[in-house]
Amino acid sequence: MIVRPRPTPFGLLFILRGSILPTITPRLMVVLAVSAGVTWLHEVAPEQFRDVSPAPFTLLGLALSIFLGFRNNACYERWWEGRKQWGQLIAEIRGLVREIMTLLPDEPALRQRCAHRLVAFAHALRSQLRDANDARARDWLPAGEWDRVVQSRDRPGAILLAQAHELRILLRRGELSDQLYRLFSGRLLAMTAIQAACERLESTPTPFTYSLLLHRSAWLFCLLLPFGIVDSLGLATPILTTILGYGFFGLDALGEELEEPFGRSQNALPLDALVRAIEIATGEALGDANLPDALLPENCVLL
């Protein structure tokens, strides 16, 4: 996620770090080259462009901007839904850690073990959503427990199952009442629901045909536009075409990044920073002396 100080209005014109421009520069170069070629042909044989009306391109551009806006709204909704789910996860873990520290038997090892499992769950969920190595979750689990978790296809779920199993043991021993067990079980159920919601977002992208249609339409519009405006704009045609291409291709590329909220693009959610926040909150509740520092943006990008 891009995190940077708010620039001045004039400074916004020259910002490259955090901009979508580096991603779409090759496309803009193609549009600029085609526009320059059409402009040169118009200068050589202007009579060939007299019958081309700009009206169809105006209508196509208006329709394309509406469709791109709709798609970007849908992609942003996916991004915001992912952020809300992880915000809810942080809230559930903080609440559960507080209840672990106040409601479980006064055994430091037991409380630490149960609290650390929640951090392991966050690490495992992040790794699953990013299809990355989840070895960091192993450091937060009791010795030997990771060997059982790693055999499961649903490793975050396996960690929650281990947590429920330990609570069940306390219940059977009489160290945990039925009411408290239901309280803890409700927290674990909420975390399971958050995991399922994140998996739904990760495994269900926006319809590919819809994205393909808009991508092709943006290319056709930008490549054909010079033929419709060169007669009236002349040498300014490449400039205007490139500016419009920046808007359409930029929205298209931004939608592609927002569509995958758990990816590693510069506009994806900062899952590493969110997991670190969970580590810090858990460590503070346990009274750890050496707490990790919160992650800071690198080159204006928070991972």
3-state SS, residue 150: coil
Residue 292 lies in a domain: no
Residue 67 lies in a domain: yes
Residue 6 lies in a domain: no
Residue 11 lies in a domain: no
Residue 243 lies in a domain: yes
Residue 291 near residue 297, CB atoms below 8 Å: no
3-state SS, residue 301: strand
Contacts of 197 (CB under 8 A, 6+ apart): 81, 85
How wide is the angle at C-alpha 190 spanned by C-alphas 73 and 206, nearest 5°?
25
Cα dist. 149→60, 125, 195, 223 in Å?
54, 13, 16, 53
Q: What domain range is 68 assigned to? A: 22-286
From first to last of its 303 residues, the chain has per-residue pLDDT tens of 777 667 666 566 666 666 788 888 899 999 999 999 988 888 887 776 666 677 777 778 788 888 888 888 989 999 999 999 999 999 999 999 999 999 999 999 999 999 999 999 999 999 999 988 777 888 899 888 888 888 888 999 999 999 999 999 999 999 999 999 999 999 999 999 999 999 999 998 888 888 888 888 888 888 888 888 888 888 888 999 999 899 889 888 888 888 999 988 888 999 999 999 999 999 999 998 888 888 888 877 788
The model's pTM: 0.89
Cβ count near 297 (within 10 Å): 15
Residue 191 lies in a domain: yes
Residue 280 near residue 294, CB atoms below 8 Å: yes
Residue 87 lies in a domain: yes
Q: Which of 123, 80, 71 is nearest to 255 (CA)?
A: 71
Total domains present in the chain: 1
Is the four-CA dihedral 281, 284, 285, 289 of positive or negative sign? positive
Residue 295 lies in a domain: no
